[in-house]
Amino acid sequence: MRGSHAQGVHQRVGTQPSWRRPGSPTSSASSIQPAIFAPTAEPATRYNEPLQAPPHTPLGDAVVAAAQDAAAQAHQPAPLADARLSRACAELAEIVPEEGVVGYSL
């Protein structure tokens, strides 16, 4: 295990990373504001309802293709794309601050 941590710096699991600590050169911790997340999509009508394919987008299609390639290389079945996960990701993306940092409390 020798050499598995950078420059002898230890960090407790569950603490803020150094780049999020106030006063660090790349810290935005002082500017993080609370985010309110209220899903806008319709909830599932029943548990375990059938999967629906997500809408096609260039980014979504690239992610699906990358996941299929990775699964094939690992000799594993490819995961199925799920419209519910795509909707959740889209809704979360709407509330992510412009600098792309979301507080741990979200």
Q: Which is more confidently placed, 104 or 47?
A: 47
**Contact of 33 with 26, CB cutoff 8 Å:** no
Structure tokens that stand for 84 in this block? 């519910």
**Each residue of 53-87: pLDDT tens digit?**
888 989 889 989 999 999 999 999 999 888 888 88
Q: Is 29's pLDDT higher than 50?
A: no
**Contact of 99 with 27, CB cutoff 8 Å:** no
What is the number of other CB atoms lying within 10 angstroms of the CB of residue 12? Answer: 6
Q: What is the pLDDT, as a whole number, of residue 83?
A: 85
**Contact of 37 with 95, CB cutoff 8 Å:** yes
Q: What is the pLDDT, as a whole number, of residue 3?
A: 46
Q: What is the pLDDT, as a whole number, of residue 52?
A: 82
- Specify the pTM: 0.48
Give residue limits of the domains in the chain.
54-99
Q: Is 26's pLDDT higher than 60?
A: no
